[in-house]
Structure 1
Amino acid sequence: MTAHPTRRRFLLALAAALPVLVAGGWPAVARADDDDDHERARRLLRSGEIRPLSEILSSVERSVGGRVLDVDFERDDGRYVYELKMVMPSGRVREVTVDAATARVIKIEDD
């Protein structure tokens, strides 16, 4: 099965930009096809309601390990979360849900 061309372009762009985003603390979120989510995340970051993606990624990499493949930003059960699709050192792909305000891992599921 082939990824949708728009999603593929976004994933390639995210992969290329991830080191810059992590180093610079840019308030990136991963739904390039949804400008409303992106703008909402930027507003929330500026107001201090959520943490930067770079901080979330650093925290999750320390606590969970693995490499990020995809990032989604959404509202879930009344709070904003980052959903990270990650490949673990074992090769297993997992979805890690992180509270965007606290950087606390909420759940880890097999993808």
Structure 2
Amino acid sequence: MNKKLGLIIGSMVGATVLGFGVYHSSADAKDTKLNTDSIQQMVSEQYPGTITELELDKEGTKKVYEVEVRDGDTETDLKLDADTGEVLKEKSEVIDADDDFDDNEKENTVAKTDDLISEKKATDIAKKEFDGEVREVELDEDDGRAVYELELVKDKKEADFDIDAVTGEILEMDIDTEDDDD
């Protein structure tokens, strides 16, 4: 009886600690001085190209925006302070179209191309769970398995999916709400 009571109490304490840690580790846009619109404008003024990713994240006690900008064959990854907009980290690299082609060839060796579901089918599977606009679809290889990675957006929500490219099974689904009210 004492073992059961100890196990129950231990489980409750563990769940409470875990929940408290998750609560304090999530980045929330309403607690920042700059919202995503402000960051987009700042980045667009300083870096030519198209913003392909913009995400609020938390590093320790500091909140940062991670931004990816593509301009032709150059990709720039930025990390900006969410309160000041100061660029904390900048990394640019040239994207070689031949390298992308080689990566796709390697991915297709995991499963025969004929065995893969179509990109449209993967998109339809994701849209059954989250009816949003498709922002990005990528065929990738994860642990020897061909996977479609999809990003969909609607209103202030963003959904990321990993879908098995052979079976169509949803391997991972993550839906985030972006609150950029100031």
TM-score (norm 2): 0.39
| CA–CA distance in structure 2, aligned partners of residues 37 and 71 of structure 1 | 15
What is the aligned partner in structure 2 of residue 38 from structure 1?
Answer: 104
RMSD: 2.8
SS at match of 1:101: coil
| CA–CA distance in structure 2, aligned partners of residues 100 and 7 of structure 1 | 27
What is the aligned partner in structure 2 of residue 92 from structure 1?
Answer: 157
Matches within 5 A, 1:1-111: 1=43, 2=51, 3-6=69-72, 33=97, 34-39=100-105, 40-41=107-108, 44-46=112-114, 48=115, 50-88=116-154, 90-110=155-175
| CA–CA distance in structure 2, aligned partners of residues 86 and 71 of structure 1 | 9
SS at match of 2:120: helix
Q: Is the 8 A contact 1:71 1:82 kept in 2?
A: yes
- Which has more strand, going by share of residues? 2
Q: Is the 8 A contact 1:45 1:52 kept in 2?
A: no
CA-CA distance at 1:56 after TM superposition: 1.1
CA-CA distance at 1:69 after TM superposition: 0.1
Q: Is the 8 A contact 1:68 1:86 kept in 2?
A: yes
Q: Is the 8 A contact 1:85 1:95 kept in 2?
A: yes
| CA–CA distance in structure 1, aligned partners of residues 130 and 113 of structure 2 | 24
Q: Is the 8 A contact 1:51 1:103 kept in 2?
A: yes
Deviation per CA, 1:29-58, whole angstroms, max 9, x where unpaired? Answer: xxx941123345498323x2x111111112
Larger Rg: 2
Structure 1 6/56 Cα, relative in aligned 2: closer, same or farther at 3 Å? same
| CA–CA distance in structure 2, aligned partners of residues 109 and 7 of structure 1 | 29
SS at match of 2:72: helix
Q: Is the 8 A contact 1:66 1:87 kept in 2?
A: yes
Structure 1 107/35 Cα, relative in aligned 2: closer, same or farther at 3 Å? same
Q: Is the 8 A contact 2:104 2:140 kept in 1?
A: no
| CA–CA distance in structure 2, aligned partners of residues 55 and 106 of structure 1 | 15
TM-score (norm 1): 0.60
Instruction: State the number of aligned residues.
Output: 85
Task: Give me the identity figure in percent.
Answer: 24
Q: Is the 8 A contact 1:93 1:110 kept in 2?
A: yes
